Amino acid sequence: MRSRLETTVPLQHQVRFLRSALASMRDTGAVLPSGRPLAYELARFLRGRATGRPVRVLEVGAGNGAVTRVLFAHLRPGDHLDAVEVNKEYVEDLTETLAEATDGSPGTGYTIHTADIRDLAPEAPYDLIVSGLPFANFTHEETRDILDFYMEHIAPRGHMSLYGYLFTRELKAVTASRASYTRQRLSQRLVDRFVRDHLVVSKRVWRNVPPAWVHHLRREVG
């Protein structure tokens, strides 16, 4: 079952993703689901961890489950995944993906949250946070609040992986209105500072469609 979870997103899910993305680009920031090469890179921490205590994973901007299915395939009994997605149409596909996943993963839990991440009240810190939110579409205040949430709810020495798509910043700089471009710059400065403060390694995933970047971060103690 787990190997099947890591296969390509079903065609009907991709079509629904495209239709919904075009209707709400502010929340989505992409017109195609994340590809398997990107999802595999985002599972780096889960792939490399030693046997030990169960972990808690938070995925923010789970979409229709393209990344979720790969993250879940690397979980072990006792682990738990919280998947956050505000788009209710995506949640239908996400629910289907995770329902299929649990058939072959006894003891591994998940919860789907159809809510703004800032309204979430986690019961315990997370060992891994994966975020695909399009911060360029958010205000300075929204971006600050979300990054503060991540820092508040990541465990000491926990990992965070932020990802997005190459060249979108340059494209938006050319096509955006002056007001929109100014908003994007303010938000991006916050993200850039956040990355500098916590960066472990950055990767470019050229085999993804479209090509993507990933910043792997870690919350150090002290």
Q: Would you put residue 33 in left (φ > 0), alpha (ψ -120 to 50) or beta?
A: beta
- Structural domains of the chain in order of their starting residue, each with its CATH number: 2-218 (3.40.50.150)
Q: Which tokens is 62 given?
A: 């789970």
pLDDT in tens, 158-214: 999 999 998 777 676 677 788 888 888 999 999 999 999 999 999 999 999 889 999
pLDDT in tens, 117-156: 999 999 999 999 999 999 988 999 999 999 999 999 999 9
